[in-house]
A and B are shown apart, each in its own frame.
Chain A
Amino acid sequence: LFREARIAFGRAQGHDVVRWRGEVLGFSERISWKGRGTVRLEGETLAFDPHQGTAGGGEGQGSLDGLDQGLSCLLGDIRGVQISLRTLQVTLEGGRLYQFEFVDDSPKCWEDLVCLALTRLYARSGQCISEFKPRIVLESVR
């Protein structure tokens, strides 16, 4: 499997508390946009490469918060995949949430592709995925 696309890249950093009548109803994640770049799915790796000079292009961020060199993760480190609005959200180990907003590609297509890659990955170890969200749930194939 191979595909790449231009994206705006964001990461969840902290959350806002939603209250009603003084009671905590829940939390809403705060997404900070880190810049533009290219996301690439290749073999067992999902990688993001920032474009030169676009660090913080999304919302005036000064740096990529440690993402200057981009991000690369193994598919096995992905804990959840889903679409939210026009973006693809990927949750990694430790609950870190990354968000890709595609400039000229379909998030649905990417969701299907990443899910397919994950299915193939786990099938090799005799497991199948019964749920991709909120987290990947594995079952052994009998």
Chain B
Amino acid sequence: MMRYRVLRRTMRFYFRARIKIRCEGEENIPNEGPFLLVLGHQSHLDSLLLHTFCLRLMFTLTKSSVFRTRFMAWLAARVGAVPTRRFQIDLQAVRVALRLVQRGEGAGLFPEGERSWDGSLQPLRRGTIKLLLKAGVPVIPCGMVGTYGVLPRWGHMNWFKVGLGREPVTIRYGEPIQFGRHDDRAGRERARPEATVRIEAALEAVMAQ
């Protein structure tokens, strides 16, 4: 965690110089205890900004291709990234996420499963919703307003543009949603449609401009 904290400070310094960051609803992040943060995914910046500016140290489920080089596998694991194989149902990633919340940590999930092409919210993956229902911990919706404009999926970012003309980005946390614990598979399947609608509505609200 020491490396994570050092890197966080460094990244905070850089991002404040590069982007005009504003955080809203930080009081919704609990000081202690487990929680799951669900984010609308618009840009590669989302997870970087979350790891850098969230009040709690976070773990996020990250696509396994990030870990392909030896350096990235070493670094990413030390800053709270958990590899997830997206081409199959990755039970190991589910197990690790559940283990983290059992330990009282916070974990970030991207329920869309990939970045948006046009900045709008995409359909949520049923597996992620079932994980939220299984975990039974507070679910906090989070939106990064403006990251799509800085680094869209189809574009590039000028990493050296600092100072004047910084683009504004707002990190907005919504109020926690409680689904309760659904231990049995049938219960999760029954609760899934309603949970999906609630999370979609909450994400739309925090991602609004």
- Write the residues of chain A forming the contact surface with B, with a CB cutoff of 8 angstroms: 12, 15-16, 18-20, 24-31, 80, 82-85, 89, 91, 95, 97, 108, 131, 133-135, 137
- Pair A26/B126 contact, Cβ less than 8 Å: no
**11 CB < 8 A contacts A-B:** A16-B67, A28-B64, A28-B67, A28-B68, A29-B87, A30-B68, A84-B65, A89-B87, A131-B126, A134-B86, A134-B87
Contacts of A135 in B (CB 8 A): 88-89
User: Is the Cβ of A29 less than 8 Å from the Cβ of B64?
Assistant: yes
Cα of A133 to Cα of B126 in the assembled complex, Å: 10
| Chain A residues whose CB sits within 8 angstroms of the CB of B88 once the complex forms | 80, 91, 95, 97, 134-135
Among B44-86, those with CB < 8 Å from A are 63-65, 67-68, 73, 76-78, 82-86
* A25 B86 Cβ-Cβ under 8 A: no
With a cutoff of 8 Å between Cβ atoms, the chain A residues found around residue B77 in the complex are 18-20, 25
Is there contact, CB below 8 Å, between A29 and B92? no
Q: Does B13 contact A (CB under 8 A)?
A: no
Query: Interface majority SS on B: helix, strand, loop or mixed?
Result: mixed
Given known contacts A97-B87, A133-B87, A84 and B63 CB-to-CB distance under 8 angstroms = yes
Q: Which B residues lie at the A interface, using CB under 8 A?
A: 63-65, 67-68, 73, 76-78, 82-90, 92-93, 96, 113-114, 117, 123, 125-127
Once the chains bind, are B65 and A85 in contact (CB under 8 Å)? yes
Among the interface residues A27, A30, A83, which one has the most CB atoms of the partner chain B within 10 A? A27
Residues of A within 8 A of B92 (CB): 24, 26-27
Chain A facing B: main interface SS: strand
Pick the contact of B87 from A20, A82, A85 — CB < 8 Å? A82
In the bound assembly, the distance between CA atoms of A12 and B117 in angstroms comes to 26
Given contacts A25-B82, A108-B117, contact A91 B87 (CB under 8 A): yes
Q: Which residue of A lies closest to B93 (CB)?
A: A26
Q: Report which residue of A97, A133, A134 has the largest number of chain B beta carbons within 10 angstroms of its beta carbon.
A: A134
- Would A83 and B67 be within 8 Å (CB), given that A25-B96, A29-B85, A137-B126 are in contact? no
